[in-house]
């Protein structure tokens, strides 16, 4: 785990603009908003510069939306207590 964190920090500090799988806030991608999911992203000194959206079929998109819904429910439970 610490190797991954070191790689992310190095990528940001050196503005390497590397493709890394990191969690970021989705803003409508695949019909998902207000939830962070891990997707391949170009990362540099500004953080996530671009999300690289994988090509997925409708069944996979539906499963991803379901995962996001479950995650949103857990977030809502944690933040409401």
Q: What is the CATH number of the domain that holds 40?
A: 3.90.110.10
Q: Which domain holds residue 41?
A: 2-79
The two tokens of residue 57 are: 């079929």
Q: How confident is the model at residue 1 (pLDDT cuts 50, 70, 90)?
A: confident
C-alpha 42/C-alpha 55 separation (Å) is 17
Give the distance from CA 20 to its chain's centroid.
10
Q: 49 Cβ partners below 8 Å, 6+ apart?
A: 17, 41, 42, 43
pLDDT digits (tens, 9 = 90+) for 9-65: 999 999 999 999 999 999 999 999 999 999 999 999 999 999 999 999 999 999 999
Phi, psi (5° rounding) for residue 52?
Answer: -95, 105
Q: How confident is the model at residue 80 (pLDDT cuts 50, 70, 90)?
A: confident
Number of structural domains, the chain? 1
Count CB neighbours of 41 within 10 A.
20
């Amino acid at each position: 785990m610490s190797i991954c964190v070191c790689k992310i920090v190095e990528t940001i500090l050196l503005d390497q603009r590397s493709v890394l799988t990191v969690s970021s806030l989705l803003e409508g991608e695949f019909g998902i908003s207000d939830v962070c999911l891990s997707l391949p992203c170009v990362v540099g000194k500004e953080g996530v510069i671009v999300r690289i959206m994988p090509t997925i079929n409708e069944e996979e998109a539906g499963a991803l939306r379901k995962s996001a819904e479950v995650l949103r429910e857990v977030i809502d439970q944690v933040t409401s207590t």
